[in-house]
Amino acid sequence: MNAKRLRLRLTHSGVHIVLIILCAVCITPLFWMIRTALAPSADILSSHLWPNHLAFGNFVTAWHAQPFLLFLGNSLLTNATIVACQLGTSALAAYSLVFIPYQGKRLVFFTTLLAMMVPMQATFVPIYSMLSTFHLINTYGALILPFVGSAFGIFLMRQGFLSIPKEMVQAARVDGATEWQILVNIVLPHAKPTVATLVLLNFVYHYNSLFWPLIATNTNNMRVVPVALSYFLTQDAGQSLQWNLAMAFDVFAIAPVVILFLLGQRYFVQGVTGVSLKG
């Protein structure tokens, strides 16, 4: 019995060691980012694991070198609008798909499924020329409009709504509630976790995405955070790049999502497992 417990102990310690090593590997790039952001210019590429003295001034310099608040403002404004619009269109569509019986519903459902297969990388040329016809390129409209409807959002909401008992909706209808009232007062309050998941996942997704904002904007004052970050590399090509300032800026850029992730971890996990597991 004792030998068995010893073996179990050993296995557990082994597992801990493996996991701790892998977690360390996971954290290393982040650690190196912070370490470099704090390094004085002479110390950036030195072999010290930690700078001899910390140059907190780098953060101040990086903050003033680029209008980070402007970029962050652009990002927050457009992403919040995108998420609000997606929540609206997706909740309405999912309610229609789950709770209202009508002809052609299956067709609509498969049509939205089709939309999930089309990546932005394949359609940016027509979307660009369409928006430029209406003089919307380099405006907030260009950043927002393509994402107002979201197939992924519809799926996520639909999955959340499916677990709400249909009898509850029926009963409300018998009591004379309109579909709109049922959605706002009954269905959405019962789908709070799904709403939270949709909001967090899509906010982070759009905050992080580079491809479309890179194409749709072309002046500094319209830049969002990822585009501004990518300009660090393309502007100062290669060796002249001041890595400590770039990493300080990188810290600013990823801080919002890291904070959101730590606060709403449960919903991120739910989003990932919900999509893969349940239907």
Site for another protein in 179-198 (CB under 8 A): 179
**Could you tell me which residues come within 8 angstroms of residue 252 by beta carbon, excluding any fewer than 6 positions away?**
59, 62, 63, 68, 72
How far apart are CB 8 and another protein at their closest, in Å?
11
How far apart are CB 80 and another protein at their closest, in Å?
17
How far apart are CB 180 and another protein at their closest, in Å?
9
Binding mask 50-69 for another protein (x = CB under 8 A): --------------------
Contact set for another protein, span 247-266 (CB under 8 A): 247, 250, 253-254, 257-258, 260-262, 265
Give the Cβ contact number of residue 158 at 10 Å: 21
Q: What stretch of H or E contains 24?
A: helix 2-37
Contact set for another protein, span 69-128 (CB under 8 A): 88-90, 92-93, 95-97, 100-103, 105-106, 108-109, 111-119, 121-127
**Cα–Cα distance, 142 to 130 (Å, whole number):** 10
How far apart are CB 98 and another protein at their closest, in Å?
10
Instruction: Assess contact for 224 and 143: CB atoms under 8 A.
Output: yes
Instruction: Assess contact for 136 and 142: CB atoms under 8 A.
Output: yes
Q: CA 15 → CA 1, 154, 171, 262, distances in Å?
A: 21, 40, 53, 25
Query: Using the rule CB under 8 A, which residue among 149, 172, 186, 193 binds another protein?
Result: 149
User: If DSSP codes are grouped into helix, strand and coil, which group holds residue 96?
Assistant: helix
Which of the ranges 14-22, 51-59, 65-73, 189-197 carries the binding residues for another protein, by CB under 8 A? 14-22
Query: Using the rule CB under 8 A, which residue among 2, 3, 4, 45 binds another protein?
Result: 45
Number of residues that bind another protein (CB under 8 A): 100
Pick the closest to residue 172 from 190, 156, 158 (CA basis): 190
Q: Do you know the residue count of the chain?
A: 279
Instruction: Assess contact for 208 and 268: CB atoms under 8 A.
Output: no
Query: Using the rule CB under 8 A, which residue among 39, 142, 143, 204 binds another protein?
Result: 204
How far apart are CB 10 and another protein at their closest, in Å?
13
Query: Using the rule CB under 8 A, which residue among 68, 232, 248, 267 binds another protein?
Result: 232
**Cα–Cα distance, 249 to 32 (Å, whole number):** 14
How far apart are CB 91 and another protein at their closest, in Å?
9
Which of the ranges 59-67, 133-141, 186-194, 208-216 carries the binding residues for another protein, by CB under 8 A? 208-216
